[in-house]
Amino acid sequence: MSSSNAPPLDVALNAAISMRKKLAVPTPDLNAPAPSSAPDLFSNDYLSVTTNPKVRERFLARIVKEPRVFGTSGSRLLFGNKSPHVQFEQRMRAFFRWPAALLFNSGYDANLSFLHSVPQPGDAIVFDELMHASTRDGINMSRCRHSQYGFAHNSVASFREVLQKTLVRHPNIAAGKSTVFIAVETLYSMDGDFCPLRQIIETVEELVPKGSAHIMVDEAHTSGLFGDGRGLVPELGLQDRVHSILHTFSKTWGMSGAVFLTTPLVRHYMIGYARPMIYSTSLPYSHLVALNTTWDFVSGPEGQALVPRLRALAAHFESALHAALARAQVPSDLLALRPRAVPADFPAHVFSPVFPVLTRASKALADVLDAGGYALTPIPFPVVPRGEERIRVVVHAGNTEAEIDEFVARICVWAREFAAREEQEKGEPRATGVLARL
Ligand X SMILES: Cc1ncc(COP(=O)(O)O)c(C=O)c1O
Under DSSP, the state recorded for 153 is: T
When the beta carbons of 45 and 388 are compared against ligand X, the nearer one is: 45
d(CA 63, CA 93): 24
Residues in touch with ligand X (CB under 6 A): 106-108, 111, 132, 134, 185, 189, 218, 220, 248, 250, 256, 258
| CB hemisphere CA count around 115 (13 angstroms) | 35
Cα–Cα–Cα angle for 340, 233, 155, nearest 5°? Answer: 40
Name the minimum Å distance from CB 231 to ligand X: 13
Task: Please give the span between the terminal C-alpha atoms of the chain, in angstroms, as a whole number.
Answer: 55
Helix axis angle for 83-96 and 285-299, nearest 10°, is 20
Residue number, 48 or 178, with CB nearest to ligand X: 48
> What three-state secondary structure class fits 127?
strand
The residues pairing with 187 across neighbouring beta strands, listed in sequence order, are 194
Q: Which is nearer to ligand X, 250 or 280 (CB)?
A: 250
The residue sitting closest to ligand X, measured at its beta carbon, is 107
**Least separation in angstroms between CB 343 and ligand X:** 18
**Residue closer to ligand X (CB basis): 185 or 388:** 185
CB nearer to ligand X: give 324 or 356. Answer: 356
- CB of 38 or CB of 258, closer to ligand X: 258
Of 403, 315, 381, 324, nearest to 41 by C-alpha is: 403
Alpha helices in 69-180 (DSSP H): 83-96, 107-117, 133-140, 156-169, 171-174
CA distance 163 to 170: 10
Minimum CB separation of residue 119 from ligand X in Å reads: 18
Which helix (DSSP H) or strand (DSSP E) does residue 103 occupy?
A: strand 100-104
Question: Toward ligand X, which CB reaches closer, 106 or 117?
Answer: 106
Give whichever of 109 and 403 is closer to ligand X, judged by the CB atom: 109
Could you tell me the smallest distance in angstroms from the CB atom of residue 133 to ligand X? 8
- SS3 labels along 206-246: HHCCCCCEEEEEECCCCCCCCHHHCCHHHHCCCCCCCCEEE
Minimum distance from CB of 387 to ligand X (Å)? Answer: 23
Pick the closest to residue 149 from 172, 165, 132, 134 (CA basis).
165
CB of 137 vs ligand X, minimal distance in Å: 10
Q: Around 347, how many Cα atoms within 13 Å sit in the side-chain half-sphere?
A: 12
What is the β-pairing status of strands 180-185 and 124-128? Answer: parallel
What is the closest distance, in whole angstroms, from the C-beta atom of residue 258 to ligand X in the complex?
Answer: 5
CB of 131 to ligand X, least distance (A): 7
Tell me the closest approach of the beta carbon of residue 354 to ligand X, in angstroms: 10
Asked if omega into 382 is within 30° of 0 (cis), the reply is: yes
